Amino acid sequence: MPLDPRPAGPRTQGPAATDEVRRRNTAVLLRLLRDGSARSRADLARLSGLAKATVGAIVGDLEELGVILEAPAARDEPGRGRPGTLVRLDGRRHAGIGIEVNVDYVAVTVLDLTGAELWFERTAWGAGPPGTEQVLRLAREHLDRLHATGASALGLTVAVPGLIDRSLGQVVDAPNLGWHAEPLADRLAAGLSSPGLVVAVDNDANCAARAESLQGVAVGETDLVYLTGTVGLGAGVIAGGEVLRGSRGLAGEVGHLRVGTDQPCACGRTGCWEALAGQRGLVAATGLEVAAGEDPVAYAARVAALPDAATLLEPVVAAMVRGVTGLALGLDPAVVVLGGAFVPLADVLVPALEQALGAGFTGPGTRVAPSSLGLHAASVGAALDALDATYAGRRSLPRAG
Amino acid sequence: MPLDPRPAGPRTQGPAATDEVRRRNTAVLLRLLRDGSARSRADLARLSGLAKATVGAIVGDLEELGVILEAPAARDEPGRGRPGTLVRLDGRRHAGIGIEVNVDYVAVTVLDLTGAELWFERTAWGAGPPGTEQVLRLAREHLDRLHATGASALGLTVAVPGLIDRSLGQVVDAPNLGWHAEPLADRLAAGLSSPGLVVAVDNDANCAARAESLQGVAVGETDLVYLTGTVGLGAGVIAGGEVLRGSRGLAGEVGHLRVGTDQPCACGRTGCWEALAGQRGLVAATGLEVAAGEDPVAYAARVAALPDAATLLEPVVAAMVRGVTGLALGLDPAVVVLGGAFVPLADVLVPALEQALGAGFTGPGTRVAPSSLGLHAASVGAALDALDATYAGRRSLPRAG
DNA sequence: GCTAATTTATACGACTCCTGAACTAAGTCA
DNA sequence: TGACTTAGTTCAGGAGTCGTATAAATTAGC
């Protein structure tokens, strides 16, 4: 029961034993192989800084777990001495499941160990927002489907639009879904009773931000802001490679940031960012009505298609500039990723935002780019989160099952 | 030469060997003893989660290093079995040095290993902003003074008002000091030639924020914003217990965040936060002139003493509310600490800010408090940074010297 | 075609570290 | 005085990494 009495940052770790060393070194090698490239043991030793003997031992372990294949010696470049036997990751035995729950739809992404997509499904909820039993049923369905392929799930993460307590695995408040103080992780873990499966919960914007930084338009970036437009507006922030959470998990809840003056907001105040640039803001700016049951992204696409969209959207653009420059000044992201309903509006938004951010201090300004993962973003990020414990060395791969 | 090819967050670590395990576990015990409390080995084992044998071994090592003293068995409560022999940290042999360099003054704080202040000195620079040689001379002076007490320095960190590249130990740009692309850490390390001394550079607001979270008004908090008013205005952010840096180290550079409309700023734009709430903003609001050579804090104190300060400062308060709520919404800090020139104005600012932040989502709102470290903040934070590698387990204590 | 140089991979011994159990030490309580 | 309880140390066992030595597989050169 390791416990550290003082609140400590991520860099300040608790007690450890030697087996953690192996976990960490294994994770280093896994990360080197994650992209599917084939490497020799000697390569891995050089790249990781580990001794050859250590690499040999770890690769042996991984082979035994069925996670590594010896690729037939495909020697391209000449080279002098004995050619290495290449190994590459075989991700088919393990997977991560990501489920994005929203008011009117649910999206499921299943990624294999290498991060390759096994399948993605997006379906509308039958009637009204779902309860946790429906999420459980869906999770079980996809878990079974995964087991049928002979793979096992390392983790399952649910992305929820709301306030999350990640350490408790609780949805503190998801007003759109009508969920409050919902112990979702525990409930799913109990309902699935799949030993070794780690169930987690996270905010949808946080998941989307993680996805964009690992597989999307901001791949490789450790500092980025993901802005998502739905009916409302929210942000997910990756800072220093980690999701920024804040003291209560509210970091990135910027919908009610004051970026204007008059426009009244549902929250009672005026000038809120989401009142100006959320769906209601788009309606106010363009006069275009939302069709019954229309998706915010579809609506935004119709807005973008208006002949005089650029001029009509001026107040929206102004609000976005105020909001984004504020966030960017405080957080200094390398990229601002526009997601959700902002994707169809990217042609109008990106130039204006890049210009506003270009006048930065030194060096290149913050980039602005539309999400490349689109509707997949949150569920992919959730699935990546399910794999993260393994790649970060917090967890070792389970014995073959 | 451990190197991990992919940019990895703090939680994603490089390769490790068994000696790192010892470093980490030692750090766990050091943190438990840091506050000066005396504990028995058995207590330490229970609190840390380590085995008794391990605790015994580590405490033995630390005793040999002269870092731990066996306190005479002061048994207060009765208790049943054999009483434990208490040990406590003896910080006198090791210290961290923090130097805050500014345009017109320099502050030095030396903390012993337990974090207790050995001395603090604040002196004005003779004429004009200093060069790096003057910082070197000062560092050598305090290092000698420390050595004279029989202690050795674990690290020396310099807090600089400007843009820092921490991994390079470089001051990228400190316009007030006239420093550009200055390899300060290397220069000091070379000039001091004190083996084992780790020299680092950091931004002054970041250091101050760290100090407030470890010893100041926000002690124990892992998420806070430190706002400092000088002639300009800047913020240091602690998120998840770590300093938030951003992609280029510019995180927290919020002086030119747009919080108003008209007030022209030196940067050419209008409505910048520092134009409204920096020293020029105070002058504009109150009409009170800055005396020749007057310190921003002293000037702010005179402003606060004006009979009609509360009404005169209304535009300043409004700007602060806009800026602080923006930062707080994005970052969700537990506390906003007001430092520098905002300390004398706290009576006016705190109620207004707390009210604006109180209307939060759920739970208690963000606290607002004036800095309790005042002028010490940045240099104390720098000194704490110098001790941090030891307490975080990244570095082991040097053999007795 | 043979040999030397070069590189890969494994085997092995040395070393570090943590752990649990056994054991000794030093008290309290009856 | 003796039973009980808690503290601290010793020791064997297991897990890890590392460097060196060794075997294996090629290429380069003659």
Report the pLDDT value the prediction gives residue B128, as an integer from 0 to 100. Answer: 81
Phi, psi of B3 (to 5 degrees): -145, 135
CA A393 to C1' C10 (Å) is: 26
- Using the CA of B86, give the nucleotide whose C1' is nearest: D7
Which residue in A has a C-alpha nearest to residue B248's C-alpha?
A332
**Chain B from 47 to 66: CB within 8 A of any A CB:** 47-50
Q: What DSSP state is assigned to residue B247?
A: S
Phi, psi of A334 (to 5 degrees): -80, -30
In contact, A192 and A141? CB cutoff 8 Å: no
Amino acid at residue number B44 = L
CA A180 to C1' C8 (Å) is: 58
CA quadruple A14, A17, A23, A28: dihedral, nearest 10? 70
Size of interface A-B (CB pairs under 8 A): 246
Q: What are the structural domains, with CATH classification, of chain B? A: 20-70+84-89 (1.10.10.10), 94-207+378-392 (3.30.420.40), 220-372 (3.30.420.40)
By C-alpha distance, which of B122, B116, B211, B198 is closest to B157?
A: B198
Which residues lie below 8 Å from residue B334, measured CB to CB, with a gap of 6+?
A: A247, A248, B218, B221, B222, B223, B224, B366, B367
Please tell me whether any atom of strand D lies within 7 Å of the Cβ of A392. Answer: no
Q: Give how far B360 is from chain A: nearest CA, Å.
A: 10
Strand partners, A202: A159
Q: Cα separation of A215 and A34, whole Å? A: 12
Phi, psi of B102 (to 5 degrees): -135, 180
Q: Cα separation of A78 and A83, whole Å? A: 9
Amino acid at residue number A331 = L
For strand C, the positions having any atom within 7 A of a protein Cβ are: 5-13, 15-22, 25-29
> CA B103 → CA A54, B161, B200, distances in Å?
52, 9, 19
Phi, psi of B145 (to 5 degrees): -60, -40
pTM reported for the whole predicted model: 0.93
Taking CB atoms and an 8 Å cutoff, what residues of chain B touch A366?
247
Q: What residues in chain A have per-residue pLDDT under 50?
A: 1-8, 361-362
- Judge whether A221 is closer than 8 Å to chain B, CB to CB: yes
Q: What is the pLDDT of residues B104-134, one digit of tens each?
A: 899 999 999 999 999 999 999 888 889 999 9
Report the pLDDT value the prediction gives residue B395, as an integer from 0 to 100. Answer: 93
Both tokens assigned to B92: 């006198």
Instruction: Check CB contact under 8 Å for A251 and B331.
Output: yes
In contact, A176 and A162? CB cutoff 8 Å: yes
Phi, psi of B68 (to 5 degrees): -130, 140
Report the pLDDT value the prediction gives residue B375, as an integer from 0 to 100. Answer: 94
Report the pLDDT value the prediction gives residue B249, as an integer from 0 to 100. Answer: 92
Phi, psi of A137 (to 5 degrees): -60, -45
Both tokens assigned to A287: 């006069």
In contact, B233 and B273? CB cutoff 8 Å: yes
Both tokens assigned to A389: 């414990």
Q: What DSSP state is assigned to residue B345?
A: T
Which residue in B has a C-alpha nearest to residue A328's C-alpha?
B251
By C-alpha distance, which of A68, A96, A92, A93 is closest to A154?
A: A96
By C-alpha distance, which of B119, B129, B64, B123 is closest to B97?
A: B119
- Write out chain B's pLDDT in tens, 401 residues: 223 333 345 567 778 889 999 999 999 999 999 988 899 999 999 999 999 999 999 999 999 999 999 887 666 666 788 888 999 999 999 999 999 999 989 999 999 999 999 999 999 988 888 999 999 999 999 999 999 999 999 999 999 999 999 999 999 999 999 999 999 999 999 999 888 899 999 999 999 999 999 999 999 999 999 999 998 999 999 999 999 999 999 999 999 888 888 889 888 888 999 999 999 999 999 999 999 889 999 999 999 999 999 999 999 999 999 999 999 989 999 999 999 999 999 999 999 999 988 765 445 689 999 999 999 999 999 999 999 999 999 999 987 55
Strands, sheet with A39-40, edge to edge from the N-terminal-most edge strand: A39-40, A86-89, A68-71
Report the pLDDT value the prediction gives residue B266, as an integer from 0 to 100. Answer: 86
Which residues lie below 8 Å from residue B340, measured CB to CB, with a gap of 6+?
A: B228, B229, B230, B296, B297, B371
Report the pLDDT value the prediction gives residue B14, as an integer from 0 to 100. Answer: 78
Q: Map chain A to HEC letters.
A: CCCCCCCCCCCCCCCCCHHHHHHHHHHHHHHHHCCCCCEEHHHHHHHHCCCHHHHHHHHHHHHHCCCEEEECCCCCCCCCCCCCCEEEECHHHEEEEEEEECCCEEEEEEEECCCCEEEEEEEECCCCCCCHHHHHHHHHHHHHHHHHCCCEEEEEEEEECCEEECCCCEEEEECCCCEEEECHHHHHHHHHCCCCCEEEEEEHHHHHHHHHHHCCCCCCCCCEEEEEECCCEEEEEEECCEECCCCCCCCCCCCCCECCCCCECCCCCECEHHHHHCHHHHHHHHCCCCCCCCCHHHHHHHHHHCCCHHHHCHHHHHHHHHHHHHHHHHHCCCEEEEEECCCCCHHHHHHHHHHHHHCCCCCCCCEEEECCCHHHHHHHHHHHHHHHHHHCCCCCCCCCC
